[in-house]
Amino acid sequence: MKLPAAFSRSLRTPAVVTAMAVAAALPVPAAAAAPVPAGPAAARAADPAFDFNAPKVLATNLTVPWGLAFLPDGSALISERPSGRVLKLAPGSTTPTEVAKLTGPVSTGEGGLLGLAVSPTYEQDGYVYAYYTSSSDNRIVRFKLASPAQQEVLYSGIPKNTFHDGGRIAFGPDGKLYATVGDAGTRTNAQDKNSPSGKILRMNPDGTPPADNPFPNSRVYSLGHRNVQGVAWGNGQMYATEFGENSWDEINHIVPGGNYGWPNVEGKGGEPTYIDPLVVWQTREASPSGAAVVGDTLYAGAVGGRRLWTVPLDGKGGTSGAPTAVLSGTYGRIRTVSLAPDGSLWIMTSNRDGRGSPAATDDRVISFPKKSR
């Protein structure tokens, strides 16, 4: 069953009805209810490996930090969405320094300087990768910190919009670069294999399509997405967080060539043509963004839900219990989540993006140590 026409997440209307199978299979939870696993799962809840009662504030007074990637020496690179700045936070420091200011990013709505990734062979080639919104498109570039103005455009012409720009990039365990692309407000493009919109892309480090991608001569790795905001890997499996529309946000297990249903299905549809999500939340509970897998748990930041979700995994592409939330309301909108080289879990807030209630020191980078065993 197709969904009615809709606008951006910020323009959701309560009357929208999701796929018929969702309504039949999933009860509507109360405002504070737990999320709904999308398939059979044991009763075990996630056992967070981190001490969320021992936060350490690493940086303050940032302006909408978005991308986060680590250099071989343990330093973190942080992108600021509206300013186009790339900041470096050295181990033990609480004062980020500007190491690049990219020319080209244009910040409008959800666009600007978004995801960052560091080359797996950084010590040899020195490349940093970025996804950003320009005056005409979204694009993926690479550059060296010593000469950020000399950008090499790897892939351009990605449709842009005020909303649904995707923007997360990361190197997978296979050494390929993955990029999440929103539907840019044109819903039907998510099902069009010839359009990058509404997709997860996979490419070689030079931007070319890998020979083993699921569709010949194409960067498209999976399709049928509305606005994927985070990707993560664990035990050889790939996972993604996705903004739904008016009813359901999602965690998906990503497989090559998989079709995740948008715009024909939102949430769990139960249709054989599409792959159902592992977990769905009501939109007010989540708006899941950055993600990281550590051990048998996926950690997903929630901007709308203002919390960190912990999702227990079975190591085979499924869940092993019900997701639970930590940090509910503690830091506001959580945009990015990452495992740091020292074994701590980092989050970045997004309270100065026009949709949050910033504290005096926002936006912040905060780490949590591993629990003692």
Active site residues: 164
Beta bridge partners of 279: 37, 251
> Comparing C-alpha atoms, which of 348, 311, 343 is closest to residue 326?
311
DSSP 217-268: T--EEEE--S-EEEEEEETTEEEEEE--SSSEEEEEEE-TT-B--TTT-SS-
- DSSP letter at 175 equals S
**Distance in angstroms (rounded) separating the CA atoms of residues 203 and 142:** 13
Please tell me the distance from the alpha carbon of residue 83 to that of residue 148, in angstroms, as a whole number: 14
**What DSSP line would sit under 314-330, residue for residue?**
-SSSSBSS--EEESTTT
Q: Could you tell me which residues come within 8 angstroms of residue 135 by beta carbon, excluding any fewer than 6 positions away?
A: 106
Nearest to 21 by CA among 359, 330, 257, 270: 270
